[in-house]
Amino acid sequence: MSTLNTPLTLPCGAILKNRLVKAAMTERISNTNFEPTLGHELLYSNWSKTGAGLLITGNVIIDRKHLESAGNVVFDNKQMLPVLRSWAESSKINNNHIWVQISHAGRQTNIFGTRRPLAPSEVQLKKLGLFGKPKAMTYKDIKEVIDGFVKAASLAKEAGFTGIQIHSAHGYLLSQFLSPRTNTRTDKWGGSLENRSRLLLSIIRETRKVVGNKFPISVKLNSADFQKGGFTEEESLEVVKMLDNEGIDLLEISGGTYEKVAFFLLNDDEQAEKEVKESTRRREAYFIDFAKKVRQVSSVPLMITGGFRSFEFCNDVLLNGEVDLIGMARPFITNREDIPQFLEGEIQHLENKVLRTGIAQFEDAAEGGFYARQIIRFSKGKPFKLNMSPLWCSMFLVLYELRKAMGKKFV
C-alpha cells in the first residue's frame, strides 16, 4: 500500500482513511437565504466518490454582511439545520470526513456586499476599486465575531459535518488581525504578535468548549503575506508554536492575500523565478520548504496545499514525514474523474491547467474565473470544460458577484 493510502489518526481520535484532502474552494452557489442547495449536494457527493479521505468546504461565512463572495453559505441560525444535514450527508457517502471551513472576509468583503466592511483597522484594500474603506472594529464587534465562529462550529457539528477549519489565511479577517500591515491597533488586539494572535486563539478556545475534545478543529494559516510590512515567516512560526499548545488537530499552511495571490504567483514561471525559491519549484509543492520549519517547532499534524501533481512526490513527502496530509484543490476540478486511479497509483500525474490572458492586471482574475465557472458547472451536473475564453473568465467573477448581489439585501 502507498503512504498516500494509509490512514491518519488525529489528536482528537478521529481517523482519516487516507492522506489525500480536497482543499477548500469557494462554491458561490448558495440560494438567496445563504443556504446550501442541491448543487452543493451534487458537488460534494461526486467529490466524495473520488475516494479522498477528507473534503473541506469552501468559505462558510459567519456574517451575512461580510461575504467572501456572493453565493457563500452562511452558518448563523438553527432554522437551516435540515438543509445543512442534507449537505453533510451527501458529502460523506464514501466513509470520508467532511469539514466546514469557517471564515469572515473582513476588509476583503467587496462593495457589492458592503461599502464599509469591518476590519481590525481602517486600512483599505485597493484592487480594481472593488473594496470600500473599512471601519475599525469595536470590542463589541470582536466579541460578535468570536461568537459567530463558535455558533457556526456548533451548527456544523449538529448538522453532521465531521470537523471544522478556522480560516486564518489569505487575507481574510483573522489573517488581517495577524498582519501588522492591516492591524495597526494599539489596544489588546494589536501591536505585539501576542495581541494580534489573540482573536484566533480566543476563537479556538471558545470553539473547543462547545464542540468537545473529540471533534476535529483545524486552522489554515499563512506562511507569509508576501508583502512588505506584512505577516512574515518568522511571525508565522511563532503563531504555529502558540497553536501547538491549543490542542488543534490539523494545521494547513498556505500564503498570500487578495493583493498578493500566492497560487497565481507560484503557477507563473516568470514570477516564480523572481519570487519563489528554486528548490520549492523543483520539488513541486508550493510551501514544502516552510513545512520543514514548522516541523521543527510543532507536533500538530500538518497539511500543505498547492502544487502536488505526481503520485511519487506525494508519497515521498509523506514517507519522509515532511507533511501528514496532501492538499489538492484544482485537480479536483481538472482531474476529478482521475482521482480514484491516482490514489491507487494507476495514474501517476495530474495536469496543472494554467490560464493566461496576456494582460498582467487580469491574469489572477482569469484563472479564478475559469475555476469558478467549472465548479458552477459541476453543481449543475455538467462536465469539465477545457476551452473557455481567458478574457471572459477574467470578467466573470465581477459580473457574477454583481448579478448574485442584486438578488440579495445588503447593508
Q: In 122-133, which positions are buried (b, 16+ CB within 10 angstroms) versus exposed (e)? A: ebebeeeebbbe
pLDDT above 90: residue 228: no
Pairwise CA distance, residues 180 & 171, whole Å: 12
pLDDT of the residue at 265: 42
pLDDT of the residue at 334: 95
- The answer to which of 17-26, 215-224, 399-408 has the lowest mean pLDDT is 399-408
Pairwise CA distance, residues 246 & 240, whole Å: 10
Q: Which residue has the cell 465581477?
A: 398
Q: What are residue 312's phi and psi, to 5 degrees?
A: -65, -45
Domain ranges of the chain: 3-406
CA nearest 122: which of 197, 187, 185, 70?
185
Mean pLDDT of the chain: 91
pLDDT of the residue at 259: 60
Homologous superfamily (CATH) for 3-406: Aldolase class I (3.20.20.70)
Question: Nine-digit cell at 105?
Answer: 472576509
